[in-house]
């Protein structure tokens, strides 16, 4: 098949992991006979420097003409002044909103080969395999907001409408049907009105999915249950900010934040794919970044936007295989283990395909 992919490398370690993603796409194209046309565009801090806008019009145009977007990371010290008018993260938030990518899928699993890296008892990690479905275009991130300005107060609002909760709940229930048929809906219904609407709506949507077991968990309790019984979770549906926080917590099970991929989807096949990790400015430009989150994001792109399931599985299996062989970047290496550079690790995965 022929597909067009917008590639947005962004800042920090972004360009390093994107370079490897492009190598992976080209290897996949040759092996499976696909033509992946990639078009680079600016996002984040580098876009601010060059155009004054974190999500420039030209980038929007390139993305609109693509089948999917692959993004690496945005942000860095240079642009981190909290009083700045334009910030790199705005690029990401604008894109999610512009393309109506309301469902953010973040799979997390524990790798037996990395269990020594996880500060939890190994027996708790057995069979840890969860999928976060984070609502991505509403909630606390997109409700009415007052910036500080010159005044002494500011606020953010957690707002949801019923249709916003319904559509993401359907995504989560359908995902659960294809997995272990359990859905945990996270809220704070004991305190927040928007979260009472959330719980009520999810309960109603559940009526269409009799084969899925639904549990409601308060977000504070959820952070604790995730550490006490991580293997008992299957699909976890959460409000935008709750999903942001919980998915970082869950990254511990995978051994490193550098391991996690994500897909942000709307109603159709179009999607935005990015590793969950950030731009890691402390290690940028040193070849130390872990490319796994990025590679697994490429796999998700092939699966969800291009319906190339076999190709997606091939990438996931190759990653598992090199980890089992002992390949390690610095973030997942134990004391004394040899450390591969971003490129060396990526090449090992590509060689396995």
CB nearer to ligand IPM: give 81 or 211: 81
Q: Which is nearer to ligand IPM, 242 or 345 (CB)?
A: 242
* Residue (56 or 243) nearer to ligand IPM, CB: 243
* d(C-alpha 324, C-alpha 343), whole Å: 18
- The two three-digit tokens of residue 326, written as one number: 């002992």
Distance CA 141, CA 73 (A): 19
Question: x/- binding map, residues 244-263, to ligand IPM, per CB under 6 A?
Answer: x-------------------
Q: Which two tokens stand for residue 51?
A: 């155009």
115 versus 264: smaller Cβ distance to ligand IPM:
264
The contacts of residue 93 (CB under 8 Å, 6+ apart) are 141, 142
Active-site residue identified among 129, 156, 248, 320: 248
d(Cα 20, Cα 163) in Å, to the nearest integer? 39
The neighbouring-strand residues paired with 236 are 132, 184
- In angstroms, rounded to a whole number, what is the distance separating the alpha carbons of residues 34 and 26? 9
Helices (H), 33-161: 45-51, 57-64, 88-98, 122-125
* Shortest Å distance, C-beta 276 to ligand IPM: 6
**Partner from ligand IPM, Mg ion, none contacting 92, C-beta within 5 to 8 A by type:** ligand IPM
Residue 188 a catalytic site member: yes
Closest CB 96 distance from ligand IPM, rounded Å: 8
Active site residue 248: yes
Write each residue from 86 to 125 as x if it is in contact with ligand IPM (CB under 6 A), else as -, in one continuous string.
---x--x---------------------------------
Question: Using the rule CB under 6 A, is 239 a contact of ligand IPM?
Answer: no
272 lines the binding site for ligand IPM (CB under 6 A): no
What distances in angstroms separate CA 134 from CA 74, 187, 211, one per listed residue? Answer: 19, 12, 22
Q: How far is CA 284 from the centre of its chain?
A: 20
What residues are labeled active site? Answer: 141, 188, 220, 244, 248
Binding site for ligand IPM (CB under 6 A): 89, 92, 244, 276
């Amino acid at each position: 098949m022929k597909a067009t992919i917008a590639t947005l490398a962004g800042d920090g370690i972004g360009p390093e992991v994107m370079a490897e993603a492009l190598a992976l796409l080209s290897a996949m194209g040759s092996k499976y006979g696909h033509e992946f046309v990639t078009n680079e565009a600016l996002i984040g801090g580098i876009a601010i420097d060059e155009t004054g806008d974190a999500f420039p019009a030209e980038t929007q145009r390139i993305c609109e003409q693509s089948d999917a977007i692959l993004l690496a990371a945005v942000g860095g010290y240079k642009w981190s002044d909290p009083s700045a008018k334009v910030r790199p993260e705005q690029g990401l938030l604008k894109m999610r909103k512009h393309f109506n990518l309301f469902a953010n899928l973040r799979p997390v699993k524990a790798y037996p080969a990395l269990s020594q890296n996880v500060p939890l008892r190994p027996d708790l990690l057995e069979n840890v395999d969860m999928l976060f479905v984070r609502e991505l275009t509403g909630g606390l991130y997109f409700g009415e907001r007052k910036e500080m300005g010159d005044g002494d107060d500011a606020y953010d609002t957690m707002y949801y409408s019923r249709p916003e909760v319904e559509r993401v709940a359907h995504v989560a229930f359908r995902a659960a049907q294809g997995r272990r048929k359990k859905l945990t809906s996270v809220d704070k219904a004991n305190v927040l009105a928007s979260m009472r609407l959330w719980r009520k709506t999810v309960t109603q949507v559940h009526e269409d999915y009799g084969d899925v077991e639904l549990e409601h968990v308060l977000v504070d309790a959820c952070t604790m249950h995730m550490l006490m019984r991580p293997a008992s979770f299957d699909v976890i549906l959460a409000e935008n900010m709750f999903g942001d926080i919980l998915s970082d917590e869950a990254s511990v099970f995978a051994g490193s934040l550098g391991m996690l991929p994500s897909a942000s989807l709307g109603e159709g096949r179009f999607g935005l794919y990015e590793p969950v990790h950030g731009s890691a400015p402390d290690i940028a430009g040193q070849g130390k970044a872990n490319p796994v989150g990025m590679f697994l994001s490429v796999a998700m792109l092939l699966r969800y936007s291009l319906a190339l399931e076999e190709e997606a599985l091939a990438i996931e299996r190759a990653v598992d295989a090199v980890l089992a062989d002992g390949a390690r970047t610095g973030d997942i290496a134990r004391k004394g283990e040899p450390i591969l550079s971003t490129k060396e690790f990526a090449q090992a995965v590509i060689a396995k395909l």
